[in-house]
Amino acid sequence: MTTAIKKHRDISWDFVRADTKTFTHCFHNYPAMMIPQIAEKLIEEFGKNASLLFDPYCGTGTSLVEANIKGINAVGTDLNPLARLIAKAKTTILDFKLLNDYLSRFEQLDFSLLFGIDPSTIQYNRFPNIDYWFDKKIQEKLAIIKNFIEKIENDSIKNFFLVAFSETVRESS
């Protein structure tokens, strides 16, 4: 004798039309990212009185960001150094005055890129097959941006720019 299994569809887990790029969730594309609404719902369901969230496979920090939004301290680990960098940048509170200062400096750099920088002054990071992935002009521009970032002394601001640089490199290849 078989028993019929009754199915129940819970539409509260349907996030098809949800904006998944709120807060710092828009910082960097990454494979198989958890959408923030799932992390938010899990925290609401299972972490109502939590004071700490530990995510052992945090990826780019979606659950960490959502925990922080709810006033919960969050700690995460991940094997991938890029994922850790993105998670750290997404969960670090920045000094906006300092960030705006560096963004203004970066805009000046962007202006000088448009109107020419002497290529002989650029320090290049060479790696195998770079010429396959990037043409010479893109290599020059990426090298200029990387040199700018390496001079940033504040680690939190530097991480913010490194994450933006990583996304730029992905989009440029």
Q: Are residues 87 and 134 in the same domain?
A: no
Distances (CA, A) of 132 to 91, 99, 135: 35, 34, 7
Considering 91, 120, 135, which residue would you say is the last residue of a domain?
A: 91
Examine residue 5 and state whether it is found in any structural domain, yes or no.
Answer: no
Q: Are residues 30 and 54 in the same domain?
A: yes
Q: Are residues 81 and 129 in the same domain?
A: no
Q: Are 22 and 6 in contact (CB under 8 A)?
A: no
DSSP-derived secondary structure for the chain:
---PPPP---GGG--TT-----TTTTS---TTPPPHHHHHHHHHHH-TT-SEEEETT-TTTHHHHHHHHTT-EEEE--S-HHHHHHHHHHHPPP-HHHHHHHHHHHHHHHHHHHT---GGGPPP---TTHHHHS-HHHHHHHHHHHHHHHT---HHHHHHHHHHHHHHHHHH-
Provide the domain count of the chain. 2
Q: Are residues 77 and 116 in the same domain?
A: no
Domain that holds residue 143: 96-172
Look up residue 168 and give its amino acid: T
Q: Are residues 39 and 73 in the same domain?
A: yes
Examine residue 141 and state whether it is found in any structural domain, yes or no.
Answer: yes
- The two three-digit tokens of residue 7, written as one number: 């199915």
Q: Are residues 115 and 146 in the same domain?
A: yes
Q: Are residues 76 and 43 in the same domain?
A: yes
Examine residue 87 and state whether it is found in any structural domain, yes or no.
Answer: yes
- For residue 129, what pLDDT is reported? 87
- For residue 120, what pLDDT is reported? 64
Q: Are 63 and 76 in contact (CB under 8 A)?
A: yes
Residue 161, Cβ density class (10 Å: 0-12 exposed, 13-18 middle, ≥19 buried)? buried
Q: Are residues 168 and 123 in the same domain?
A: yes
Question: pLDDT tens digits, the chain, 173 residues: what are they?
Answer: 677 788 888 888 889 999 999 999 999 999 989 999 999 999 999 998 999 999 999 999 999 999 999 999 999 999 999 999 999 999 999 999 999 999 999 988 877 766 666 666 667 777 888 889 899 888 888 988 998 999 999 999 999 999 999 999 999 88
Examine residue 134 and state whether it is found in any structural domain, yes or no.
Answer: yes
CATH number of residue 34's parent domain:
3.40.50.150
Q: Are residues 115 and 154 in the same domain?
A: yes
Whole-prediction pTM = 0.84
Bridge partners, residue 76, by sequence: 55
Determine the Cα–Cα distance for residues 130 and 6; give it in Å rounded to an integer. 57
